[in-house]
């Protein structure tokens, strides 16, 4: 098994599925000759040609709308939005169209598109190259929202996303791209959408996270282990639909739940996970459900001290874990 980084795993999945299924093609800004500004589509133009690796005009609604039209006419497009911050012009297409096509036609049409977008901060990306916008979309039935946290999952979940008959937003934490390396099988495998992964078995507190924060949680959990606190760490992986059963079982296991995400707190993923736990397994809890999230400010500033203040890190997370464990 080869060791690959997170972005290589994504390229691997795209190439594999394009070889396997002629209906699959990629489109977006700079995905062709440049191979993507992050190089996620590097090499695809040479192998598959300009018909299946489309450099598009700089117009996000057009990219997503065109992908939807192609999907309605039998293709399986994978559209890249260069940064999730720029997905907003396409929101009408995503929410009014893609999410509702199956529903509004009572199943006559469906919309098998994948929209890939890098998200997240800690890369000096400032307000418009750092955002986490997943919560905008997890409120929309009809969409699926996937946020892999490892190279293995990036490939397996992307293959699942392309093979999924419904629209999938595939959000890749841009700091994970070259930070994370791991074993990635060369062959075809899938990781199911809608299933969590337990990253660490523990007995004192349960922590839910995803994306880059999952890794900070992992490091923090190791710190706590040396102090004798045992953390049960769950990678949500899919934010819509949530893996309800696994989340409830993990919360009940320790009776203490913490949700950690980089996105700001109010109306975020943590709110939904907390509400789910308190609705369903309230009497299994030994402490209030806690959340540790980005601050409720419009976006992440450019200045390094401000960015560091905004971002969660191993220490902030470890402190919050201790607070919950001590309750």
Partner 1 sequence: MTPEKYRELGLTGEQVRDMYRLMVLARELDKRTWLLNRAGKIPFLVSCQGHEGAQVGAAAALEVGTDLLCPYYRDIAMVLAFGMTPTELMLSNFARAADPNSGGRQMPGHFGSRRLGILTGSSAVGTQITHAVGAALAARMRGETTVVMTCFGEGSGNQGEFHEAANFAGVHKLPVIFFCQNNRYAISVPLEKQVGGGSIAARGQGYGMPGVRVDGNDVLAVYETVRDAVLRARQGEGPTLVEAMTYRLVPHSSDDDDSTYRSREEVEAAKRDDPLLRFGRYLRNVGVMTEADQEALLQKTLAIVDAAVSEAEAAPSPAPESTLEHVYAATREEH
Out of 20, 34, 47, 96, point to the residue binding partner 1 (CB under 8 A).
96
**Known catalytic residue: 232?**
no
C-alpha distances (whole Å) from 241 to each of 19, 147, 192, 258 are 29, 12, 12, 20
Would you count residue 91 as binding partner 1 (CB under 8 A)? no
Burial 160-187, CB ≥16 within 10 A → b, else e: bbbbbebbbbbbbbbbbbeebebebeee
Out of 164, 172, 262, 272, point to the residue binding partner 1 (CB under 8 A).
164
Q: Are 100 and 137 in contact (CB under 8 A)?
A: no
Least gap, CB of 138 to partner 1 (angstroms): 14
Would you count residue 36 as binding partner 1 (CB under 8 A)? no
Least gap, CB of 281 to partner 1 (angstroms): 24
For residue 240, what are its two tokens?
A: 């819509």
Please tell me the distance from the alpha carbon of residue 27 to that of residue 43, in angstroms, as a whole number. 14
Please tell me the distance from the alpha carbon of residue 64 to that of residue 113, in angstroms, as a whole number. 9
Which member of 110, 124, 129, 215 is catalytic? 129
Would you count residue 163 as binding partner 1 (CB under 8 A)? yes
# residues contacting partner 1 (CB under 8 A): 46
Sign, CA torsion 98/162/40/314: positive
Would you count residue 69 as binding partner 1 (CB under 8 A)? yes
Candidate segments 5-13, 136-144, 209-217, 313-321, binder of partner 1 by CB under 8 A: 136-144
Would you count residue 49 as binding partner 1 (CB under 8 A)? no
Out of 39, 86, 166, 252, point to the residue binding partner 1 (CB under 8 A).
166
Out of 20, 43, 47, 109, point to the residue binding partner 1 (CB under 8 A).
109
Candidate segments 106-114, 123-131, 180-188, 230-238, binder of partner 1 by CB under 8 A: 106-114
Please tell me the distance from the alpha carbon of residue 229 to that of residue 320, in angstroms, as a whole number. 12
Closest CB to partner 1 among residues 99, 321:
99
**Among 105, 199, 124, 112, CA closest to 162:** 112
Which of positions 276-315 make contact with partner 1 (CB under 8 A)?
none
Q: How far is CA 232 from the centre of its chain?
A: 20
For residue 274, what are its two tokens?
A: 């907390």
Query: Which residue reads 């901060």 in tokens?
Result: 121
Candidate segments 54-62, 179-187, 227-235, 297-305, binder of partner 1 by CB under 8 A: 54-62
Residue 201's Cβ-count burial label (10 Å; 0-12, 13-18, 19+) is exposed
Out of 17, 80, 85, 97, point to the residue binding partner 1 (CB under 8 A).
97
Would you tell me which residues interact with partner 1 (CB under 8 A)? 25, 51-52, 56-57, 59, 61-62, 64-75, 77, 89, 92-93, 96-97, 100-110, 112, 141-142, 144, 163-166, 241
Which residues does the annotation mark as catalytic?
A: 129
């Amino acid at each position: 098994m080869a060791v690959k980084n997170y972005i290589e795993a994504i390229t691997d999945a795209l190439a594999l599925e394009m070889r396997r299924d002629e209906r699959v093609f990629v489109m977006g800004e700079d995905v062709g000759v440049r191979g993507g500004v992050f190089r996620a589509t590097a090499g695809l133009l040479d192998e598959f040609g300009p018909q299946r690796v489309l450099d598009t005009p700089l117009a996000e609604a057009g990219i997503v709308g065109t992908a939807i039209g192609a999907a309605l006419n039998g293709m399986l497009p994978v559209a890249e939005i260069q940064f999730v911050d720029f997905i907003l012009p396409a929101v009408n297409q995503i929410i009014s169209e893609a999410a509702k096509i199956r529903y509004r036609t009572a199943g006559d049409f469906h919309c098998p598109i994948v929209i890939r977008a890098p998200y997240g901060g800690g890369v000096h990306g400032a307000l418009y190259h750092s955002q986490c916008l997943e919560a905008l979309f997890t409120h929309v039935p009809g969409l699926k929202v996937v946020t892999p946290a490892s190279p293995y999952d990036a490939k397996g979940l992307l293959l699942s996303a392309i093979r999924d008959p419904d629209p999938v937003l595939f959000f890749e934490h841009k700091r994970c791209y070259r930070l994370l390396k791991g074993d990635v099988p060369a062959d075809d495998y899938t990781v199911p959408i809608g299933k969590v992964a337990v990253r660490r078995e523990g007995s004192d507190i349960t922590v839910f996270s995803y994306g880059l924060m999952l890794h900070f949680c992992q490091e923090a959990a190791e710190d706590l282990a040396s102090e004798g606190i045992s953390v049960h760490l769950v990678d949500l992986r899919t934010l819509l639909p949530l893996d309800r059963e696994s989340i409830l079982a993990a919360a009940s296991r320790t009776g203490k739940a913490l949700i950690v995400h980089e996105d700001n707190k109010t109306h975020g993923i943590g709110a939904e996970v907390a509400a789910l736990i308190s609705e369903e397994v309230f009497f299994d809890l030994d402490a209030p459900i806690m959340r540790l999230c980005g601050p409720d400010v419009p976006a992440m500033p450019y200045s390094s001290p401000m960015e560091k203040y905004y971002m969660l890190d191993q220490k902030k997370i470890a402190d919050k874990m201790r607070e919950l464990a001590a309750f």
